[in-house]
């Protein structure tokens, strides 16, 4: 059985257009459960080489729709000319489309080599490629398939064992089973001689979905009754325009805005959080403005966490910057500092700057000479005295809480956040400046990823954005409070303090690596024992 070139292209385009609809700000998460069905149907009728090309088309469309905001960030805020910004975005999405190309080509090869397996290897291959995308060339795990389900809390609870990759696995498993069932139906309708209904993939998808839903529903129900110690936290969203953020003439207004919003949080807070690069100056290098920040912390009566660049020097005297978050006590003492460890390529540094990308130094406005921090540093403070919900040996001692901070882009890396939880973080804070994204889907996509970091590690998150979304997320991914974007906000919330470690916190991406090992073994077996290209070239349709 064959299918026309035009229909194959339409099928590829269908998946490419459906994929971004499942992510914010479209938020049609239900679409993800069938978005890849057209691509799988196309793969059934193609050789690995042609499947690769069709997958590349589908993937390029999918990531262009998911990451169109790159043009806004580069053109409006980075001052890169629009044609160049568009070209950079297309180069990025063409690169990301390669992962879907490899998926389609690889799945076709596996189907040719192991026809009895059906589409069962599909989710293992997909997760393997998502894992590679997370780490290869600094990593860009944006728009991983599982993130599309950030609003469906019962389904995503399995991330506490398998990470976001587990949700991606389930989505692809269901897509593959639906596609295989449809292919079987097409062949049966046309009178082709086929063996039987594709039970293995259908049973696996139904069982996987059922177990995930049961586990998540049960976990959320039991979590409602678990006693927890809580903290009162305030977050400030000043909404300082990007063009004014580092304008010396606007410093007084910026600090006055922080002062007003911080005062509006009220009293009896355990912690106040300002966003990434909150101070429009280098905190340690400006005594006059440092005194202003110290005074705000004193009047607020709570430790203040805020972002500010830190200037350091190499042994040879060359200066460099750190993107830092300071924890300031009410008496002005610096209780700790976290330095961002995973920097943004083309935002905080230019990769290959000394070789073939030297010209970007004159094109991209605002790229600093930042360097990475040392690692997952925990910060610690003593909260206000109050009666704990349960009395234990721990609460009878001098109680301090430890927390981790991730700055902006870092929160999209599952293993990076996991390291804070594994090291004993009681809760997490993420600070960001999403003004770079403008009024696009990116702030909503960025916020949705924080939901998964909370679920994976069962830690609450407080999030402060220059403009956002700011808000609070509980240890099970429930959004307790969130702000609109491009507004001035002062949010006060209560977050849980817990020190339980999930399976994911302890073992990380074990599931994803297991998928990669299985795919590697399958490929090695197929390579050494099967001819990858059947005689006659194009397959005429495989048995269901």
Out of 44, 180, 408, 515, which one is annotated catalytic? 408
CB 413 within 8 A of CB 141: yes
As a whole number of angstroms, the distance between CA 185 and CA 10 comes to 20
- Told to judge if 340 belongs to the known catalytic residues of this protein, a careful annotator would answer yes
As a whole number of angstroms, the distance between CA 470 and CA 476 comes to 18
Out of 44, 187, 340, 456, which one is annotated catalytic? 340
At 474, list the tokens: 């509980």
Planar angle of CA 97, 8, 71, nearest 5 degrees: 30
As a whole number of angstroms, the distance between CA 46 and CA 71 comes to 34
- Told to judge if 408 belongs to the known catalytic residues of this protein, a careful annotator would answer yes
CB 8 within 8 A of CB 56: no
Out of 44, 130, 276, 348, which one is annotated catalytic? 276
Task: Give the CA count within 13 Å in the CB-facing half-sphere of 244.
Answer: 13
As a whole number of angstroms, the distance between CA 543 and CA 522 comes to 20
As a whole number of angstroms, the distance between CA 335 and CA 423 comes to 18
Pairing of the two strands 304-313 and 378-381: unpaired
Total length of the chain: 544
Cβ count near 542 (within 10 Å):
18
Q: What is the DSSP string of 207-256?
A: HHHHHHHHHHHHHHHHHTT---EEEEEEEEE----TTTTT-GGGHHHHHH
User: What is the end-to-end Cα distance of the chain in Å, rounded?
Assistant: 12
Task: Kindly state the DSSP code that residue 354 receives in the 8-state scheme.
Answer: T
Distance set, CA 68 to CA 73, 75, 343, 408, 525 (Å):
10, 12, 21, 19, 40
As a whole number of angstroms, the distance between CA 396 and CA 387 comes to 10
As a whole number of angstroms, the distance between CA 448 and CA 144 comes to 11
- Told to judge if 276 belongs to the known catalytic residues of this protein, a careful annotator would answer yes
Q: Among all residues, which ones are annotated catalytic?
A: 276, 340, 408
């Amino acid at each position: 059985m064959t299918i026309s070139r035009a229909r194959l292209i339409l099928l590829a385009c269908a998946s490419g257009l459906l994929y971004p609809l499942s992510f914010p700000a479209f938020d049609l998460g239900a679409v993800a459960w069938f978005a890849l069905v057209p691509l799988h149907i196309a793969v059934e009728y193609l050789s690995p080489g042609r499947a690769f090309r069709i997958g590349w088309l589908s993937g390029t469309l999918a990531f262009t729709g998911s990451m169109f905001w790159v043009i806004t960030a580069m053109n409006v805020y980075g001052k890169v000319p629009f044609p160049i910004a568009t070209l950079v975005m297309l180069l990025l999405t063409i690169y990301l489309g390669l992962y879907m190309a490899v998926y389609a080509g690889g799945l076709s090869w596996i189907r040719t080599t192991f026809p009895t397996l059906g589409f069962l290897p599909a989710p293992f291959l997909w997760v393997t490629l998502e894992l590679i995308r997370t780490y290869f060339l600094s990593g860009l795990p944006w728009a991983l398939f599982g993130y599309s389900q950030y609003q469906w809390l019962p389904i995503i609870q399995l991330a506490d064992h398998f990470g976001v990759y587990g949700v991606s696995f389930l989505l692809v498993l269901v897509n593959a089973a639906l596609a295989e069932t449809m292919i079987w139906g097409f062949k049966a309708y046309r009178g082709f001689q086929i063996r039987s209904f594709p039970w293995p993939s259908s049973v696996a998808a139904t069982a996987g979905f059922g177990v995930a839903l049961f586990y998540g529903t049960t976990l959320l129900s039991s979590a409602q009754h678990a006693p927890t110690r809580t903290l009162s936290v305030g977050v400030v969203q000043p909404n300082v325009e990007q063009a004014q953020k580092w304008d010396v003439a606007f410093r007084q207004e910026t600090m006055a805005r922080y002062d007003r919003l911080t005062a509006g949080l009220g009293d009896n807070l355990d912690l106040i959080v300002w966003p990434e690069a909150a101070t429009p100056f280098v905190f340690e290098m400006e005594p006059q403005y440092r005194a202003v920040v110290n005074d705000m912390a004193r009047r607020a009566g709570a430790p203040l966490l805020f972002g500010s660049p830190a200037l350091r020097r190499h042994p040879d005297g060359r200066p460099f910057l750190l993107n830092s978050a300071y924890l300031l006590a009410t008496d002005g003492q610096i209780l700790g500092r976290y330095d961002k460890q995973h920097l943004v390529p083309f935002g905080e540094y230019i990769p290959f700057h000394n070789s073939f990308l030297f010209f970007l130094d004159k094109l991209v406005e605002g790229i600093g000479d930042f360097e990475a921090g040392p690692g997952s540093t925990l910060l610690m403070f003593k909260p206000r005295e109050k009666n704990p919900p349960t009395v234990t040996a721990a609460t009878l001692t001098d109680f301090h809480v430890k927390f981790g901070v991730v700055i902006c882009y870092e929160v999209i890396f599952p293993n990076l956040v996991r390291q804070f939880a594994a090291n004993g973080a009681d809760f997490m804070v993420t600070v960001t400046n999403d003004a770079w994204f403008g009024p696009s889907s990116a702030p909503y996509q960025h916020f949705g990823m924080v939901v998964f970091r909370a679920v994976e590690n069962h830690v609450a998150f407080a999030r402060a954005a220059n403009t956002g979304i700011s808000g609070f997320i509980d240890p099970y991914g429930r959004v307790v409070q969130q702000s609109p974007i491009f507004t001035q906000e002062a949010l006060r919330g209560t977050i849980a303090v817990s020190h339980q470690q999930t399976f994911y916190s302890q073992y990380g991406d074990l599931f994803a690596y297991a998928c990669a090992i299985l795919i590697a073994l399958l490929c090695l077996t197929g390579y050494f024992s099967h001819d990858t290209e059947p005689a006659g070239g194009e397959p005429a349709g495989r048995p269901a």
